Amino acid sequence: MERAPRPEGKIVEAANFPTRLEAEAAIDLLGANGIQASGKFGDAGGWAPHYALVDGFRILVFEDDLDAAREVLATEARLEALGDLEPDPGLEADGG
């Protein structure tokens, strides 16, 4: 997908993840929601993962998209948290 250049756009950090996998999933999620994002990974391309302990796996977006990007990521985090909830055993016993 071709995008218009944004020469005046300032690039800022939207999030920082502990793993490359989570960061790449976040970039894909933002892209699917129309937000241009990139990563700044401090792990030397996967060859030195211990370097990422210092800087993490940063997700970068244009400043104009920062609020929308954080909202998308926060919504995804809330949905994941809901998915992690255990079903109420009382409901299963009651048949509901």
Give the domain ranges of the chain: 11-82
Separation between Cα atoms, residue 44 and residue 59, nearest integer Å: 16
The CA-atom distances, in angstroms, between 92 and each of 10, 76, 83, 84, 95 are: 52, 27, 17, 17, 5
**Fold classification of 11-82 (topology level):** Alpha-Beta Plaits (3.30.70)
- Whether 11 shows a pLDDT value over 90: the answer reads yes
Kindly state the tokens that stand for 61: 């977006």
Average pLDDT over residues 44-60: 72
What is the value of pTM for the model shown?
0.73
Average per-residue pLDDT for the chain: 81
Of 75, 76, 56, nearest in space to 13 by CA = 56
* 26, 58 Cβ separation under 8 angstroms: no
Q: Is the pLDDT of residue 84 over 60?
A: yes
